[in-house]
Amino acid sequence: MLTTRPPRDSGTAGPSFIEHFARFGFAIKGVVYCIIGALAALAPVGLGTRPTGTQGALRTLLEQSIGSLLLSIVAFGFVCFGLFQLVRAVDDPDHVGSGFQGVWRRIGWAANALVQFALASVAIGMLVGLRRAAAIAGDDERQVHDWTAWALAYPPGRWVVAGVGIGILIYGVLQVRRGLIGKLDRRLSFVSASDRRRRWARGVSRFGVAARGIVFGLIGVFLIRAAYDANAHEARGMGGTLRALATEPYGPWLLGTAAMGLIAYGLYDFVLARYRRIT
């Protein structure tokens, strides 16, 4: 007797622990981007020190009166989002398939899972006694410079750094295109939202995705320059890229726009946490 396997995604799957992990992970990711954007927005008006990246945002949390508790929650959120990305890569609940594009997307999700686990380990390291090291580093720039210098020390290193930079640049351009004229996450479902909330969510999300794409594109450009000049100090992370914007003509306006864009991307993560269908 032949049996037909039921579809894996009916669009209304009930909550599971992976769904709860995913939604919590999206929310924590949104919190971190909002902190990065807020710190960048405060810098031009003299209310903050300087723009920073993810590790700087974690340090900012740690410096609060209940910093250990906040950082513990964020570390757990990174783990949750990493597990969700790993499930996407292995089990393919999004049905991207095993074709060329599908495989590359799943590899990207697996790589992002490793990034989330690495961020969780950084946060845990700050919690278990590396606060002084975190305060000294304070940003992602040292890691970016160290990695670039290590790669450039080998004969094919310039090509590796340039390749990574080109890949990040292409990713940034695709994100800008997606934010301006493309589709947002295809599993977003605004069925329960009012028309006004739907329009607001889409507008803010598009602005956030495009702005983050520009920042990532600039990170790629800095890596390409570092490879071309064989100079690791020309490489930039997110914090360094934001600080570089501030030194350009109309720098405060450019930095302020980028900051608002990163906050908008954080809000987009909140939208995903609330309205994305997760199976």
Q: Indicate whether 200 belongs to any domain.
A: yes
d(CA 230, CA 50): 27
* Crossing angle between the packed helical segments 141-152 and 238-246, to the nearest 10 degrees: 110
Mean residue pLDDT across the chain: 85
Buried residues in 218-257 as b, exposed as e (16+ CB within 10 A): bbbbbbbbbbeeeebebbbbbbbbbbbbbeeeeeeebbbb
pLDDT band at 1; cut points 50, 70, 90? very low
Q: If DSSP states are collapsed to H, E and C, what string results for 105-125?
A: HHHHHHHHHHHHHHHHHHHHH
> How many other CB atoms are found less than 10 A from the CB of residue 213?
22
Query: What's the average model confidence in pLDDT over 156-160?
Result: 92
Give yes or no for residue 228 having a pLDDT over 60. Answer: yes
Domain that holds residue 228: 140-265
Q: Indicate whether 213 belongs to any domain.
A: yes
Give yes or no for residue 15 having a pLDDT over 70. Answer: no
d(CA 115, CA 25): 13
Give yes or no for residue 8 having a pLDDT over 70. Answer: no
Q: Is the whole-model pTM more than 0.75?
A: yes
User: Would you state the torsion angle of the CA atoms of residues 278, 195, 261, 228, taken in this order, to the nearest 10 degrees?
Assistant: 60
Least confident of 105-114, 178-187, 221-230: 178-187
d(CA 216, CA 166): 11
For residue 48, the model assigns a pLDDT of: 59
Alpha-helical (H) ranges within 183-247 are 195-229, 238-246
Give yes or no for residue 18 having a pLDDT over 90. Answer: no
Instruction: Please give the tally of structural domains in the chain.
Output: 1
CA atoms within 13 A on the CB side of 144: 25
Q: Indicate whether 198 belongs to any domain.
A: yes
Least confident of 74-88, 91-105, 193-207: 91-105
For residue 139, the model assigns a pLDDT of: 59
Q: Indicate whether 120 belongs to any domain.
A: no
* Crossing angle between the packed helical segments 195-229 and 238-246, to the nearest 10 degrees: 90
For residue 49, the model assigns a pLDDT of: 65
Query: What's the average model confidence in pLDDT over 241-251?
Result: 87
For residue 11, the model assigns a pLDDT of: 42
CA atoms within 13 A on the CB side of 101: 3
Q: Indicate whether 275 belongs to any domain.
A: no
Give yes or no for residue 220 having a pLDDT over 70. Answer: yes
Residues of the chain with pLDDT > 90: what percent?
Answer: 49
Give yes or no for residue 233 having a pLDDT over 70. Answer: yes
pLDDT band at 273; cut points 50, 70, 90? very high
pLDDT band at 16; cut points 50, 70, 90? confident
Q: Indicate whether 199 belongs to any domain.
A: yes
Backbone angles phi, psi at 53, to 5 degrees: -105, -155
Biggest CA pair distance of the chain? 74
d(CA 10, CA 64): 44
For residue 5, the model assigns a pLDDT of: 40
pLDDT band at 47; cut points 50, 70, 90? low
Q: Spell out the residues 6+ positions from residue 45 whose beta carbon is closer than 8 angstroms to its own.
A: none
**Each residue's pLDDT tens digit, 108-146:** 999 999 999 999 998 988 888 755 544 444 457 778 888
Q: Indicate whether 228 belongs to any domain.
A: yes
pLDDT band at 81; cut points 50, 70, 90? very high
Q: Indicate whether 190 belongs to any domain.
A: yes
For residue 120, the model assigns a pLDDT of: 93
Identity of the highest mean pLDDT range in 5-19, 72-86, 132-146, 176-190:
72-86
